Structure 1
Amino acid sequence: MQYEIKQHDKFSFIEEGEGQPLVLLHGLFGALSNFTELIHFFKRYNKVVVPMLPLLDMDILHTSVSGLAKYLHKFIELRDYKNIHLLGNSLGGHVGLVYLLKYENKNRVKTVTLTGSSGLFESAMGDSYPKRGDREYIRKKTEYTFYDPAMATEELVDEVFSITNNRLKVIKIIALAKSAIRNNLEKELQNIQIPALLIWGKNDNVTPPFVAEEFHKLLPNSELHFIDKCGHAPMMEVPDEFNRILFNFLKKHSAIATEA
């Protein structure tokens, strides 16, 4: 399903539906395809917003989790969203948390949802990067993201391969990965008091289940849901179950508008 990409100043984003904003933050190799089912479901109840995070387009000095959090802050300020419900997958969850800790001082954000988030621990692409052109390596690493290797379609592998086959993009990916490792939030998470939802794949190899347990322990107002036979991207791999859990959470926190 194709969605219109809108432009406001330097920001590109998708905005579908009406209601309280549900802002979706994608991960390091994320794309709109990651959120297709989620957008389709929630645009009936919320204003679903997907900012195109410039993961590989910022200058190298600002290619960091903090740099992306600042970008998100400027985007939210420009759009003047209120009653926001943040949702982040993988690096996107980490960016959302840093935004909450560094920039959220106007009570704009009402809830935060994390799925496979970095910020405490992650086993990213591995200890080393392949030589450019090693498509089979990329296939294996993409399959590693999911419980069901068949989720790593040719189209998805091509998408990741095209990124990792560009020298400058690889440098920025490594910079972001190192930034995520350095930016450990263990000592700060207690300061996030808003309701937090954790949706985690029981078979997540990148941010294993113990990471979810640690987030649950450190976030004072959190609830944790595991999904069996599911990897690092539950909203892609088990969208119906993911949407059901998220819907119930948002409904509990008065975030769901009645469908027209």
Structure 2
Amino acid sequence: MSLSKEGAAREVTLASGTYIRYYEAGAPGDTPVVLLHGSGPGATGWSNFSQNIGVIADAGFHVLAPDMPGWGDSDAVATPEMDHDATLVEFLDVLGLDSAALIGNSMGAHTAVRFATLHPERLTHLVTMGASLGRGQASLFGPADGPSEGLKVIVETYKDVSPENMKALVDIMTFDKERFATPELTAARSDAALSRPDHLKNYVEGLAFGAPIPFKVDRSKIPDIAVPTLLIHGKDDRVLHYETSLRLLADIPNSRLVLLNRCGHWAMIEHADEFNRLVVDFLTHN
């Protein structure tokens, strides 16, 4: 379907009073699918998933892509008070959804994995791309002395959303920079970030409290995840090494991993057609 940002935009106030902007496509009676964006400055449900929402909806799914609190047009929140798991429960409740398939990129993947361990009855499928599990586990392949180069660029861009820093951010997220790190994408991310200085300020102040999100998944519970799980990761991801998805593959019994060559942190953007085919097939046949 042809889908515009303005045409897909919706808004809702949760039981806690939190205002949420989200993007919607497909019929409400179809199987619900919730898309969870990553954490970078300018990240929103639309900026992460504009190439996916309509295609997945056309395959017979009710697709919802919220801006999580602290991002996009949703309410600002200080990091110590941020609990995306609780927000997701409220979001499903206010929309009258008992359960949904969860698809998350980066921070959104972390939220989806944590949600699967805490509320197994409320999701039908789990899909991650460029998954994050937070720090605290020894790395075999990634940097051993601190954040990856990509995470360092994210933090620097939050501190100074200059055109140069935003260009560096978009560059490091993608493998094929000439094709995907476009001036249009850079400008869209920059505009989204600069429109909410409160989000930028909260993130920087929240670094001392574990930003982007303070509550991490209990890794000992990951082997209990029983829903069908699809793990997607770019081999050339410079933000979060595919080692994370290898660990998830080893721990989640009903899981499979697709490792994409010539792909950075944004599989749903760089390999949108393949990503959409993988997701639709997975949701349809599992």
TM-score tier by shorter-chain length is 0.7 to 0.9
Partner of 2:271: 238
Classify 1:138/1:231 alpha carbon distance in 2 versus 1 (closer, same or farther; 3 Å): same
CA contact (8 A) 1:42 1:48 kept: yes
The answer to whether residue 152 in structure 2 is matched with residue 126 in structure 1 is yes
Percent of paired sites with the same residue: 24
The whole-number CA distance in structure 2 between the counterparts of 1:240 and 1:40 is: 12
Give the C-alpha shift of residue 243 in structure 1: 1.3
* Counterpart selection for 1:26 from 37, 40, 59: 37
Partner of 2:61: 46
The answer to whether residue 93 in structure 2 is matched with residue 85 in structure 1 is no
Amino acid at match of 1:84: A
Amino acid at match of 1:58: A
The whole-number CA distance in structure 1 between the counterparts of 2:203 and 2:233 is: 24
Give the stretch that moved more between structures: 79-88 or 195-204.
Answer: 79-88
The whole-number CA distance in structure 2 between the counterparts of 1:20 and 1:206 is: 32
Structural mapping, 1:57-72, within 5 Å: 57-60=75-78, 62-64=80-82, 67-72=83-88
RMSD: 2.6
Give the C-alpha shift of residue 157 in structure 1: 2.0
Amino acid at match of 2:152: G
The whole-number CA distance in structure 2 between the counterparts of 1:220 and 1:133 is: 41
The whole-number CA distance in structure 2 between the counterparts of 1:246 and 1:203 is: 21
* Counterpart selection for 1:109 from 123, 128, 137: 123
Give the C-alpha shift of residue 37 in structure 1: 2.2
CA contact (8 A) 1:193 1:219 kept: yes
Classify 1:94/1:132 alpha carbon distance in 2 versus 1 (closer, same or farther; 3 Å): same
Other structure's SS at 2:220 match: coil
Amino acid at match of 2:53: I
Partner of 1:16: 25
* Counterpart selection for 1:137 from 152, 155, 165: 165
Partner of 1:35: 49
Structure 2: runs of 5+ lacking an equivalent:
14-18, 136-146
The whole-number CA distance in structure 2 between the counterparts of 1:134 and 1:198 is: 33
Give the C-alpha shift of residue 120 in structure 1: 4.4
Give the C-alpha shift of residue 79 in structure 1: 1.2
Give the C-alpha shift of residue 183 in structure 1: 2.1
The whole-number CA distance in structure 2 between the counterparts of 1:161 and 1:28 is: 14
The whole-number CA distance in structure 1 between the counterparts of 2:247 and 2:127 is: 15
Structure 1: runs of 5+ lacking an equivalent:
254-260
The whole-number CA distance in structure 1 between the counterparts of 2:214 and 2:265 is: 17
The answer to whether residue 201 in structure 2 is matched with residue 171 in structure 1 is yes
Classify 1:48/1:168 alpha carbon distance in 2 versus 1 (closer, same or farther; 3 Å): closer
Q: Deviations over 1:71-126 (max 9, x none)?
A: 11101111121341110011111112222333x26x23111100012114573531
CA contact (8 A) 2:79 2:203 kept: no
